[in-house]
Amino acid sequence: MKRKGFKFIMSMALVTSIAASALAGCSSKGAGTSAKAAGAEGEWKWERKVTLVCPWGVGGGADSTLRPLQPELEKVLGVPVEIVNVEGAGGANGIDFANKQPADGYTYVLGTQSHIMLDLQKILPVDFRKEFRPVSKLVHSINIIASSKKAMEGKYSNFTEFVEYAKSHPQELTCGMLTATGADSVSLKQTLAGGLGCDITEVENYVKIVNYSGGAELSSAMVGGHININITGADEIKGLIESGDIVPLISMSEERMSSFPDIESTGEHKIDSYVGTWRGIFARKDTPDKAVDAMSKAIKEAWNSASYQDFMKNAGYLDRPGYATADELQTLVDKEYTTFEEYLKSAGLIK
Least confident of 44-58, 122-136, 170-184, 185-199: 170-184
Backbone angles phi, psi at 81, to 5 degrees: -125, 120
Evaluate whether 250 touches 191 at the Cβ level (below 8 Å): yes
| Per-residue pLDDT tens over the stretch 37-64 | 343 357 899 999 999 999 999 988 899 9
What pLDDT score was predicted for residue 183?
73
What pLDDT score was predicted for residue 35?
37
Residue 79 binned pLDDT confidence (cut-offs 50, 70, 90): very high
What pLDDT score was predicted for residue 6?
32
Structural domains of the chain, ranges and CATH numbers in brackets: 44-141+277-346 (3.40.190.150), 143-251 (3.40.190.10)
Residue 264 binned pLDDT confidence (cut-offs 50, 70, 90): very high
The C-alpha atoms of residue 124 and residue 117 are separated, in whole angstroms, by 9
**Of 6-10, 22-26, 61-65, 157-161, highest mean pLDDT:** 157-161
Query: Which residue type is seen at 71?
Result: P
| Per-residue pLDDT tens over the stretch 122-165 | 999 999 999 999 999 999 988 899 999 999 999 999 999 999 99
Q: Does pLDDT of 7 surpass 60?
A: no
| Per-residue pLDDT tens over the stretch 230-240 | 988 777 777 88
- For residues 103-123, give the mean pLDDT: 94
Q: Does pLDDT of 28 surpass 70?
A: no
Residue 181 binned pLDDT confidence (cut-offs 50, 70, 90): low
Q: Does pLDDT of 24 surpass 70?
A: no
What pLDDT score was predicted for residue 179?
67
**Residue closest to 124 by CA, chosen among 139, 106, 112, 107:** 112
What pLDDT score was predicted for residue 342?
86
What pLDDT score was predicted for residue 311?
92
Residues 6+ apart with CB under 8 A from 284: 98, 99, 101, 103, 107, 131, 132, 133
Position with higher pLDDT, 275 vs 74 = 74
Residue 182 binned pLDDT confidence (cut-offs 50, 70, 90): low
**Residue closest to 65 by CA, chosen among 148, 136, 144, 145:** 136
The C-alpha atoms of residue 256 and residue 266 are separated, in whole angstroms, by 9
| Per-residue pLDDT tens over the stretch 321-347 | 899 999 999 999 999 999 889 888 877
Position with higher pLDDT, 259 vs 193 = 193
Q: How far is CA 123 from CA 107, 111, 182, 344, in A?
A: 22, 15, 11, 13
Residue 13 binned pLDDT confidence (cut-offs 50, 70, 90): very low
Position with higher pLDDT, 286 vs 231 = 286
Arithmetic mean of pLDDT over the chain: 86
Task: State pTM to two decimals.
Answer: 0.71
Per cent of the chain over pLDDT 70 is 87
Q: Does pLDDT of 172 surpass 90?
A: yes
- For residues 247-272, give the mean pLDDT: 92
The C-alpha atoms of residue 76 and residue 70 are separated, in whole angstroms, by 10
Evaluate whether 170 touches 262 at the Cβ level (below 8 Å): no
Q: Does pLDDT of 18 surpass 70?
A: no
- For residues 173-186, give the mean pLDDT: 80
The C-alpha atoms of residue 208 and residue 226 are separated, in whole angstroms, by 12
What pLDDT score was predicted for residue 260?
85
Identify the bridge partners of residue 45 per DSSP, sorted by sequence position: 36
Query: Which residue type is seen at 333?
Result: V
